[in-house]
Amino acid sequence: MNVARNVTGALLGLTFFWIGIQHFINPKAFNEIVPSYLGTPAFWTYSSGVLEIALGLGIMIPATRPLSARCLVVLVVLMSLANLNMYLNDVPFNGTVLSTTAHIIRLIIQVVLITVLLWLGSIF
């Protein structure tokens, strides 16, 4: 079980780390999907990038994995506001407007991701 958690934590951690870095390399793509009611898109883009980098590293380390995974659950749920904004307002991501099918696939991926993070966070 620890091997599975270690491998999953490493793979997801690297993924979150990479996506967090993308917030700094291409902030425009992320700024555009921030819901307007939140204001100051750059703040949300850079803040979520920092959190994804830090928590991505955190889930790779067994001692910090449970807390980091639980924090990532909250972050993923909060970032769903951007995904909902993209769906409701046909906001393109990096120049691409997603189809309804693509939005459904993203939703399924998020549910699976949250489930895996709950497992990594030792919730179940």
Average pLDDT over residues 97-118: 94
pTM: 0.91
Q: What is the structure's pLDDT at 93?
A: 87
pLDDT in tens, 64-77: 999 999 999 999 99
| Inter-residue contact 79 to 51 (CB < 8 Å) | no
Continuous segment of H or E residues that includes residue 72:
helix 65-89
| Inter-residue contact 80 to 110 (CB < 8 Å) | yes
User: Would you place residue 95 in the very low, low, confident or very high pLDDT band (cuts 50, 70, 90)?
Assistant: confident
Q: CA 8: distance to chain centroid?
A: 15
User: Would you place residue 124 in the very low, low, confident or very high pLDDT band (cuts 50, 70, 90)?
Assistant: confident
Q: What is the structure's pLDDT at 65?
A: 97
